[in-house]
Amino acid sequence: MTKTLLCGRFTLDLSRPLVMGILNATPDSFSDGGRFNRLDEALRRAEAMLAEGADILDVGGESTRPGAPYVSPEEELQRVLPILEKLRDIGAPISLDTRRASVMREALRLKAVDLINDVSALEDEGALEAVAASRAAICLMHKQGSPDTMQDRPDYQDVVAEVGAYLQRRVRLCLDAGIVRERLLADPGFGFGKTLEHNLALLGRLDEVERLAGAPQLVGLSRKSMLGVITGEETPAERLGASVAAALESARRGAAVIRVHDVKATRQALQVWSALQKSLR
């Protein structure tokens, strides 16, 4: 399997797991109102995450949490474009978390986005073409149902086989559209239409998902509600230990990119794990 990711302006080495730091551009994620304050704060957070060891920054303007309010494409663009412009020359790969073709097109035009992170795996009309026409990498994520109803009653015969087969079909579609395999990441989509048992099966058999998908895996487990179910911790920000444990387990099972809120703690855990791996070789 490929060991590098062609990621817009960057070529990333996948021989060790990369840390993707989450930068939410939703209004409630920054402290106060003024546009310039918000932009400065986004830049400060981005710089802080890079200093803590983030390899990629993931900017998102729409929450996909179950029950999250609707955000129009115009509003999503208003949230993310100024931040992307501000981050353009920060010297690290910038990912844009969006499922809308129109948002992808506008953002890619800025030449500030190196990776499109799509929880809908390019299902929006025109999304495949938008990415194919660019040099950006693409993360194809699996979900069952839509964010507002997906946790109602997730149902699979064999979750690993079904998620793997879906990702394989989406990877094939990209290859057929001329997007080379070195630009592709796949993601089982933890918590997106999955029960705790489904999530655990996918994490435990991540290597199998990767084999079926035919692309390196990006995983997002940070602070997710499945960790709350396991630990009984209701406050997402209090799930640091659980998130780090999940990140380490993902690394052990071959994850290429780990999407997290807490960069410093995750990076430290991965450094210890990598040192041990090296010493065992």
Instruction: Summarize as ranges the residues that interact with ligand HH2 (CB under 6 A).
Output: 22, 24, 60, 63-65, 97, 117, 119, 139, 141, 187, 189-190, 218, 220, 259
The smaller minimum CB distance to ligand HH2, of residues 27 and 275, is found at 27
The smaller minimum CB distance to ligand HH2, of residues 218 and 255, is found at 218
Q: Is residue 224 annotated as a catalytic residue, yes or no?
A: yes
**Paired residues of 5 in beta bridges:** 12
Q: Tell me the residue number closest to ligand HH2, measured at CB.
A: 220
What minimum distance in Å lies between the beta carbon of 218 and ligand HH2?
5
Decide: residue 182, CB within 10 A, 0-12 exposed, 13-18 middle, 19+ buried: middle
Q: Which of 79, 224, 239, 267 is catalytic?
A: 224
Number of CB atoms found within 10 A of residue 229's CB: 12
The smaller minimum CB distance to ligand HH2, of residues 24 and 134, is found at 24
Q: Is residue 223 annotated as a catalytic residue, yes or no?
A: no
Extended strands (E) in 2-136:
4-7, 10-13, 18-24, 56-60, 94-97, 115-118
Whole-number Å distance between alpha carbons of 73 and 100 = 7
The smaller minimum CB distance to ligand HH2, of residues 68 and 275, is found at 68
Measured at the alpha carbon of residue 94, what is the angle toward residues 89 and 257, in degrees to the nearest 5?
140
Q: Which of 45, 99, 194, 259 is catalytic?
A: 259
Q: Which residues are catalytic?
A: 224, 259
